Amino acid sequence: MKLKNYFIVITVSLLTLLPFLSAAQTENLWLNNFVQSDLAVNFYSNLPADALSEKVIEKELAGYFKNFKKIKKPNSANFSIVIDQKQNLGSEGFSLDFNTEKNTFKITAETPAGALYGTYALLREIKNGKTQLVKIEKPKYQIRILNHWDNPDGSVERGYAGKSIWFDNNQVAFRKDIETYARANASVGINATVIDNVNADPKILSTETLLGVKQIAEKLRPYNIKVYLAVNFSSPTAIGGLKTSDPLDKDVINWWTNKCKEIYTLIPDFGGFLVKANSEGLPGPMDFGRTHADGANMLAKALKPFNGVVMWRAFVYNPQGGDRAKQAYDEFMPLDGKFDDNVIIQIKNGPIDFQPREPFSPLFGAMKKTQIMAELQITQEYLGYSDHLCYLATMWKEFLDYPTFHNNQDVKETTLNQKLTAFSAVANTGTMKNWCGYVMAQSNWYAFGRLAWNPDLTPKQIAYEWIHQTFKNINEDACEKISHIMINSREAVVDYMTPLGLHHLMGWSDHWGPEPWCAIPGAREDWMPRYYHKASNDGIGFNRSSTGSNAVEQYQEPLKSTFNNPQLCPKEFILWFHHLPWDYYFSDGKTLWETLCCHYNKGVKQVEKFQDDWKTLKDKIEPNLYNEVSEKLKIQLDEAQWWRDGCVLYFQEFSKMEIPFKTKYTLQQCKDKLRTKDYVERQKD
Ligand code: BDP
C-alpha cells in the first residue's frame, strides 16, 4: 500500500514537471544555453574590484563553459578580459578575438560595461556557429531605451502579455524574474528603461514609490541599465501641494529641483525624465501659456547637475479639426534650436501613431538645431496584439533607411549626428510566462535592442541570430524557413489590415479588429477611422496633397513633389496622401478597387502560406513551440480574414464594385465579432 502511494506521487510530480520544462525555454527568452561548451576555460580578468558587472560576466561564462575556472595570473589564461584604456573603444565598446578551435578568447574593453557587452557578443557569436572572429564594436546610439507603459496599479497600457512586471497595487513589486529581464536587455545592448507609462501617474514621484524605484535600479545596475521615469507635468500641483505647475513659476522650479536632488540621492545613476505633455488631455506647459521648450528646459535645468536627460515627446495629439498628421511638425518646428543640450525630442516613427505602415515623421531631418530621437513600438497595439506573427525589424529598417533629403541623410542619420543620441521603443513585456505573450513576439524585443546597438544590421541577420538562440537544435534549412516567414510577416499584416497607405481603421479604443465603419455618437469625428479613410461614393483616401491638407509640404524636396503627385507617389502611401476615385487606374492597368481587394486577399493568402510553411517544420522544432506557433497562426488567419472581409465589404458599400474573391464573413458578422471579446478571454493571465 505504501509503495503504491509512493509510486503515484512520483507519477504526478513527473507529469506536472513536463509543462514546466517546456515553458522554461521561452521563459528564458533568447538566453538558452542549449549546448554548453566542454572546453576547459581558465578565466582571467583585470576588471576593477568594484565592477558590478564582473559577477554577471562570470556567471554568464560559467553557464556556458562547463569547465570554467577563474585564475589570478594572466599568463596561463586562455580566456581573458582586459580593460585597456588605450584601445579607444569608448564607454561601451569592446573588441573580440576568439578561436574556439585553438581555445583562445580575448575580450578587450575600456570599461566594465564594454566587457559585459563583449561577453554577450562572444556567446552570441559562438551560439550562432562562429568558431573564430576578430572584431571591434561600439554602439551607434548612446541611450538604447525601452519605454514600459506600466501603471502603478499593475495594469499595462497596450500590454498584451499580462500585468506589469514592475508594479502591483500602487507599489513597486517584482512580479517577474528581473534578473532575466536585465540579462535579456544587456545581451542585446539595451542600457536604459523607463519603467512607467507615458500617461504618467503623479504618484510615481512620491517618496514611497521612489524608494521602490531605487530597488529596481539596484537590480539593473550590474547589467549597465539605467532607470528613467515618465513624469506628469502637473506633479507639483498633484503631489507637491502647489497651486500651479507653471514651468516659469519659482516655486515650481524649486519643487522640481528638490525632487531631482531627492531622486539622485537615492539613485545616483538615475537617467532622467520622459514627458508626454499637452497631448491626449495630459497637462503641459501650454496650459500656462508656455511652450514645449519652456517646459522641457525647466526640467532639464533641474536634472543638469546630475547629468540627467529629458526625453520630451513630440507625440502631441489633440483632435482639433485639422490634419492630425501635421500637428507635431506644426508645434515643434517653430521651437527648433530652443531646447537645452540635455533635452532630446522623442518622435514616433510616423506622423500619426504606430500604424502598420506610415511614411516617416517629417520632423526627422527638419529639426536641424534640436537633438531628436525615434520612438518605435514593440508591443503590437495596431498589429494584432500578441496573436499575430509580425516581425517588426523589416518595418523599422524601412523607417531607419528612408532618405529624408535633408543634408543627404536617411532617417537614422538625422538622429545620430548630435551630442546626445538615443533610440527608444515601447516594450511588450508582461507577467505571462513567456514575457511577451507569444514566442514570436520576443523576436521584436530582441530586434529592437540589436538595431539600437547597430542600425546597419539587416532584419535577416537579426532573425537568424534570434532563431538560433530560441529554437533548440535548429538546422539551417529550418532557420531559413522561419526567417522567411518572419521577414514577410509585416507586409502580410499591412496587406490584410491597411494596404496602400490606409491607416487607423482599427477599433476606436482597443485598436484590435477592423472598424472602418466606426462612429461614436457625440465623439469627435477626428478620432475615428472614417476621418482617416474618408471612403465615400467618390473614392477613398486622405487628401494630404497641395489640394488637400498639404501635409506633403512638411517633407523636403524631392519627396514633397513625389508624395504630392499620385503618378509618382509610392503605391504603399497612395491613400495616405491622396483621395482617389474607386476606378482610378494604376499604371499596371488595374483599378484602385481591384488593387485594394487584391492586397487584402494577398495578406490572407500569405498567412495561409505561413501555415503551410510552418507545417513543414513539425519535426524540426520542439513540440511546445511548434504547437504554440501553429495555434497562434490559426488565430491570425481567422483575424486576417475578418480584417479583409470587414474592410472590403464595408468599402464595397461605396465603391459598389464586385469583390473578386469569396469572403468568409458577412459585414454583420464582422461587426458582431468585435463584441465577442474572445480576445479578452484568451489573454487571461
Ligand atoms: C497611442 C496609444 C495610447 C498612448 C499614446 C501615446 O493608443 O494608449 O497613450 O499612443 O503614445 O497609440 O502617448
Per-residue pLDDT tens digits for 407-427: 999 999 999 999 999 999 999
pTM of the model as a whole: 0.95
Helix (H) or strand (E) holding 587: none
| Cell numbers 524585443: residue | 445
Three-class SS string for 548-563? CCCHHHHCCCCHHHHH
All cell numbers assigned to 369: 538645431
Q: Pinpoint the alpha helices (H) of 165-307.
A: 178-188, 207-220, 235-238, 250-266, 292-303
Maximum Cα–Cα distance for the chain, whole Å?
88
Determine the pLDDT at residue 494. 99
Determine the pLDDT at residue 521. 73
Is residue 157 within 6 Å of ligand 1 at its C-beta?
yes
Give the Å distances, CA to CA, from 223 to 49, 116, 595, 680: 16, 8, 50, 35
Give the Å distances, CA to CA, from 430 to 27, 195, 436, 489: 12, 12, 6, 23
Q: Are 562 and 615 in contact (CB under 8 A)?
A: no
All cell numbers assigned to 505: 481603421
Q: What residue's CA is closest to ligand 1, atom 2?
A: 158
1.20.1250.20, 3.55.10.10, 3.20.20.80, 3.60.15.10: which CATH number matches 143-470? 3.20.20.80
Q: Are 580 and 541 in contact (CB under 8 A)?
A: yes
Nearest-angstrom CA–CA distance, 455 and 139: 9
E strands along 270-381, which residues? 272-275, 309-313, 343-348, 372-377
All cell numbers assigned to 615: 507545417
Question: Which atom of ligand 1 approaches the CA of 511 most closely?
Answer: 7
All cell numbers assigned to 411: 532617417
Domain ranges of the chain: 6-137, 143-470, 495-542+579-683
Does 353 qualify as catalytic in the annotation? yes
Measured in whole angstroms, the distance separating CA 440 from the mean position of its chain's CA atoms is 14
Residue 255 identity = W
Q: Which stretches of the chain drop beneath a pLDDT of 50? A: 1-21
Is residue 199 within 6 Å of ligand 1 at its C-beta?
yes
Q: Which residue(s) pair with 345 in the sheet?
A: 312, 372
Active-site choice (177, 208, 280, 583): 280
Is residue 158 within 6 Å of ligand 1 at its C-beta?
yes
Determine the pLDDT at residue 620. 96
Measured in whole angstroms, the distance separating CA 460 from the mean position of its chain's CA atoms is 18
Determine the pLDDT at residue 7. 37
Total residues found in the chain within this entry: 685
Q: Pinpoint the alpha helices (H) of 28-153.
A: 53-64, 112-127
Whether residue 558 has a cis bond before it, omega within 30° of 0: yes
Does 280 qualify as catalytic in the annotation? yes
Which fold does the domain 6-137 belong to in CATH?
Answer: Chitobiase; domain 2 (3.30.379)
Nearest-angstrom CA–CA distance, 674 and 663: 17
Q: Are 378 and 428 in contact (CB under 8 A)?
A: yes
Q: Domain 495-542+579-683: give its CATH superfamily.
A: Alpha-glucuronidase, C-terminal domain (3.90.1330.10)
Distance 89 CA to ligand 1 centre (A): 38
Determine the pLDDT at residue 5. 39
Nearest-angstrom CA–CA distance, 539 and 517: 15
